[in-house]
Structure 1
Amino acid sequence: MKIIVGLGNPGPKYAGNRHNIGFMAVDALHRRHAFGPWTRKFKAEIAEGELAGEKILLVKPQTYMNVSGESVGEAMRFYKLTPADIIAVYDELDLAPGRARLKTGGGHGGHNGIKSLDAHCGKDYRRLRLGIGHPGAKELVNGHVLGDFAKSDAAWLEPLLDALADNADLLVKGLDSQFLNKLAIATGAPAEPDQPARPKPPAAPSSPKPGGKSHIRQARPDVPKMLPTTGPMADMLKRMFSKTEDK
């Protein structure tokens, strides 16, 4: 058995918030697959079903985000599960909208819901982070996460949630790369973080070919090797060379 928990805040006031994308993801799973009706238990709304031949418990904690771990920890202990049996789905400020990342364990990144899960369940659970973008300044973060998605966000949000629900079997089976690729194809967002463009190292100067000119010599115009044969200059050169030969 596995628990898939979506993080968010309960009530219609928060339903459209960016912070509630975890709830939205679990709702999409519930709509797309044969789960039972939502019921109340473990301080949460829960629904039972099956994915990839495995029993799944969907959980939406009703304790508010900051104490989500109380609900999930209670369900985990009731079913005698371990952190490895939990998949948490939540919003990530440091990912661009439409991006997704999936890993086991790690830090909380300042996310209060994850802090609570870490405290009540341990840290070694799988974490599906869904990008909501960063507003660009720390003082704007609270209003951003507790603000509703804009209408324009539907262009990536709906395909993301649909792809997540359609490919949930891959998520449950632990086929993380395939799962993330499906989400990336659906949203047009890269499945992996962008790598900064690295400037190409300057090409090493080519060595002059044997018998050829150096790059410095090549840059100089060829000077005709002509010596005067008559006149005062010719006489001076003759005297110079004759002295050299005498030595």
Structure 2
Amino acid sequence: MFLIVGLGNPGERYEFNRHNIGYRIIDAFASELGLGDWKKQGIYHNSEILNVEHMGHKAHLMKPGTFMNNSGVAVHRYLNDKHLETENLWVIQDETEVPFGEVRVKFGGSSAGHNGINSIDQEVGSGYWRIRVGVGRPTNDQPLSDYVLSNFTAQEFEQLGKVIDQVVAYLIKSLEEGTITSQTFNAKEN
């Protein structure tokens, strides 16, 4: 049993922000698997939850209802209540240290300044899988916090569908195999 978390901020205001790529990918993943509507669960800080069984493997999907910087609170509560091990946690996140369109999957490591990951690390430790989706860095003197809360550019939007599709395909394959592996791929070139 896995818990697959897509990080983001709740609310329409943030829907197309770079910081919400985790929400967008997990929505596309749920759609590709033909799952129904997300269910808000107050006990998990209004997180949206879906359950999936695919090719004999079960997973819970979560979009934390906390804002990004407090994601760990909802994740910790869910892991505890469902008696899930931290190593069975897969977190989909935006990553400014990775070029736009590149995806790096790794186990553990530092938060690299990502406040959502830092929150999860503080609550459950760092022994879980991260699907780090590159959103690039600002090319000017824009503060990083403003950059991740800004929308993708028109050019990025043209390529974003490919990125999301590649990550969804990777997640489906990983769920089918019941395992996830470290790797790097450039989704926008595939």
TM-score, normalised by the number of residues in structure 1: 0.70
Cα separation, 2, equivalents of 1:175 and 1:52:
15
Are residues 1:141 and 2:144 paired? yes
Q: Which runs of 5+ in 1 are unaligned?
A: 190-247
- Residues in 2 aligned to 1:77 and 1:101: alpha-carbon distance in whole angstroms: 27
d(CA) in 1 for partners of 2:91, 2:9: 14
Counterpart in the other structure of 2:189: 188
Deviation of 1:80 (Å): 0.4
Q: One-letter code of the match for 1:6?
A: G
- Counterpart of 1:84 (choices 58, 69, 87) is 87
Higher normalized contact order (CA 8 Å, seq sep 6+, divided by chain length): 2
Offset at 1:19? Answer: 0.5
Q: Which one-letter code corresponds to 2:170 in the other structure? A: N
- The sequence identity of aligned pairs, in percent, is 34
| Partner SS, residue 14 of structure 2 | coil
CA distance in 1, matches of 2:188, 2:143: 26
Read off the aligned partner of 1:40 and give its amino acid letter.
K
Q: Aligned AA for 1:135? A: P
CA distance in 2, matches of 1:64, 1:169: 27
Q: CA deviation at 1:101?
A: 0.3
The equivalent residue for 1:9 is: 9
Alignment partner for residue 181 of structure 2, among 171, 176, 179? Answer: 176
User: Aligned equivalents of 2:141 and 2:116: distance in 1?
Assistant: 19
Report SS of the residue matched to 1:59. Answer: strand
Aligned length: 185
Decide whether the 8 Å contact of 1:34 with 1:50 is kept in 2.
Answer: no
Distance 1:163 1:16 in 2: 19
Relative to the length of structure 2, the TM-score reads 0.90
Q: Given residue 176 of structure 1, which amino acid in structure 2 is its aligned partner?
A: T
- 1:82, distance to aligned residue in structure 2 (A): 1.1
Aligned pair partner of 1:106 in 100, 106, 109: 109
- Matched with 1:48 is 51
User: For the residues of structure 1 that align with 2:180 and 2:70, how far apart are their CA atoms?
Assistant: 30
> Which AA in structure 1 matches 2:169?
D
SS of alignment partner, residue 106 of structure 1? coil
Cα deviation for residue 180 of structure 1 reads: 4.7
Mark the runs of 5 or more structure 2 residues left unpaired by the alignment: none
- Cα root mean square deviation, aligned: 1.8
The one-letter amino acid of 2:181's match is D
